[in-house]
Amino acid sequence: MLFASCAPETCARRTCPPRPRPAGHPGSDMTAHSFALPVIIFTTFWGLIGIAGPWFVPKGPNRGVIITMLVATAVCCYLFWLIAILAQLNPLFGPQLKNETIWYVRFLWE
């Protein structure tokens, strides 16, 4: 069940062949996730739906209900996403992985 391309014997060396790494991230070449960018994107997105959307609802008997639905959807979905991202902003502990998982994820997710 070990990942076929990375048998333990070939990786007995402590270090893998050096690869160019972005500065500040020793040991991996994964780029950091920014926090500001998703916040801006999603705030804009749900803001458009919840604040700008109501202006474009055509006049008719159902206008009030549709506006209520748009605003409620925007508030609920934005809030839910925001809670999810804030909860992971400053983790106090990390995931505990099985050694099998570590063996393959360490090379798979790079």
Which of 5, 8, 18, 23 is close enough to bind another protein by CB under 8 A? 8
87 scored as a contact of another protein (CB under 8 A):
yes
17 scored as a contact of another protein (CB under 8 A):
no
48 scored as a contact of another protein (CB under 8 A):
no
51 scored as a contact of another protein (CB under 8 A):
no
Which of 54, 57, 77, 78 is close enough to bind another protein by CB under 8 A? 77
Quick one: CA torsion of 101, 102, 103, 104, rounded to 10 degrees?
A: 60
Q: How far is CA 58 from CA 23, 50, 53, in A?
A: 53, 15, 11
23 scored as a contact of another protein (CB under 8 A):
no
Q: Which long-range contacts (CB under 8 A, 24 or more apart) does 40-45 make?
A: 42/78, 42/81, 42/82, 43/78
59 scored as a contact of another protein (CB under 8 A):
no
Q: How far is the CB of 95 from another protein (least distance, A)?
A: 3
83 scored as a contact of another protein (CB under 8 A):
yes
Q: Say if CB 49 and CB 70 are below 8 A apart.
A: yes
85 scored as a contact of another protein (CB under 8 A):
yes
Residue among 44, 40, 61 nearest 53 (CA): 44
